[in-house]
Amino acid sequence: METDQKKKVLIVEDDRALRQALVEKFTSEDFIVLSSRNGADGLANALTNRPDIILLDIIMPDVDGLTMLERLRQANAWGKGVQVILLTNVTPDSEEVIARITQNPPSFYLVKSDYMLSEVVAKVRECLALIDARVTSAA
């Protein structure tokens, strides 16, 4: 990566094979990678380790991704502002899903089947570059 400090990504995904593929891809792309298998573990992991960005599935056991996102946004100032990319196969077409996303907006919403792993990494880098640009311009 361009910066001296590696960026930290948290992958919250219940599908073991996909989670492992994402972990391996982001590790090979020089990220510090954290992972969780459900929203309850993901929320605890996020609040403890404060990643630079979170990739979050919606449909998971125990605590789903939208509930995790709501709790994250309510937890503290860091949780309210951390970048989150919803990476899911759920199309946001129901009023309930759209309302929950609008109340706790992610940075991006990606449908898994529409993106290759390299494109997910590119979107994460794009999102992180926007954050770095804002920090640099504010300094």
| CA neighbor of 52 nearest in space, from 93, 111, 5, 17 | 5
8-134: CATH, from 3.40.50.720, 1.10.260.40, 3.40.50.740, 3.40.50.2300:
3.40.50.2300
118 alpha-carbon distance from chain centroid: 15
| Distance in angstroms (rounded) separating the CA atoms of residues 97 and 127 | 23
Question: Residue 3 — very low, low, confident or very high, per pLDDT cuts 50/70/90?
Answer: very low
Task: Check residue 6 and report its DSSP letter.
Answer: P
Q: What pLDDT, on a 0 to 100 scale, did the predictor assign at position 89? A: 82
> Do 84 and 100 form a contact (C-beta atoms < 8 A)?
no
3-state helix, strand, coil in the chain (%, to 5): 55, 15, 30
Q: What pLDDT, on a 0 to 100 scale, did the predictor assign at position 110? A: 83
Residue that wins the pLDDT comparison between 125 and 95: 125
| CA neighbor of 130 nearest in space, from 105, 110, 106, 107 | 107
Give 130's strand partners.
none
Q: What pLDDT, on a 0 to 100 scale, did the predictor assign at position 49? A: 98
Chain segment 10-58, per-residue pLDDT in tens: 999 999 999 999 999 999 999 999 999 999 999 999 999 999 999 999 9
Task: Check residue 63 and report its DSSP letter.
Answer: S
Question: Residue 5 — very low, low, confident or very high, per pLDDT cuts 50/70/90?
Answer: confident
| Distance in angstroms (rounded) separating the CA atoms of residues 59 and 44 | 18
* 117-134 average pLDDT score: 87
